[in-house]
Structure 1
């Protein structure tokens, strides 16, 4: 807390929710990103067990409470989240709770979409287009590598 208190720069926050498959419980991690004399820093602020339902309101309350506890509400620049609808709702609710007067352009840029998540969606979409071809290649590799004799025939044909 003292490190963030002494930080003169704006603070960006990333947060994500996931469900632990072995426990069927939801968790949220809140990570801060800021610049200090040593350049870019990232620190996990909180790792939170979140009661169901994992709605925008529930996530907003957890993130708001965390931000207030760590006293970063006046230094907040952006909140980076993936594209789920609950996150859209969470950001809208956060804007109603925080004082936007201290935010960049009155909080207009508070919500940032996670580029890695967007890229992952693009790649998944692209792979779905060539799914049949990928499966044929996998089947071929499996066929030629199942026995030593098939592998030797493949090696001979390759030469």
Structure 2
């Protein structure tokens, strides 16, 4: 894969822990444009990562993978989720890699996962309106709980001229 490929590689990686076993796993995926200008995606490694999942342990797993696949000099960016351990891990990676082979000497190596950031924003907002959502759900359960209440609801809807099909 890497010998014929002259393009840079974008790496994405994610770490998760099985809650019932307290065992951590990392997936490392490479994304690149091949010689026919087709986007390629390859899982390079799916690996058990022993605890604790410190910046040193995570950086070591990544560096081993980069060296195993001979892509340490072909890196473009590494996309990770938005946690402080990953911030520290990227700083450590910059010390372990030859920054002269990286774009802008590695200043653009760290990419934060937009989907993860968006998820965090949505979760924060849902938390803020969670009580209101519960009240609306409880109200709907009440009004649809019997045919008589549903008829009363429909009558009030008609009297107030509320136009709603749901």
Q: What TM-score, normalized to structure 1? A: 0.88
> Please, which runs of 5 or more residues in structure 2 have no aligned partner?
159-166
Per-residue CA deviations over 1:1-22 (Å, capped at 9, x if unaligned) read xx23322211010111111123
Q: Among residues 17, 20, 24, which one is paired with 1:19 in the alignment?
A: 17
1:105 positional shift: 0.6
Between stretches 65-74 and 36-45, larger displacement belongs to: 36-45
Q: Which runs of 4+ in 1 moved over 4 A?
A: 145-159
Taking the aligned partners of 1:4 and 1:157, their CA distance within structure 2 comes to: 69
Instruction: Trace 1:78-93 onto structure 2 (pairs within 5 A).
Output: 78-93=77-92
Taking the aligned partners of 2:146 and 2:17, their CA distance within structure 1 comes to: 40
What value does the CA root-mean-square deviation take over the aligned residues?
1.9
Q: Which residue number corresponds to residue 118 of structure 2? A: 119
Evaluate the alpha carbon distance shift between residue 112 and residue 150 of structure 1 in structure 2; reply closer, same or farther with a 3 A threshold.
Answer: same
Taking the aligned partners of 1:46 and 1:152, their CA distance within structure 2 comes to: 59
Q: Does 2:42 align with 1:43?
A: yes
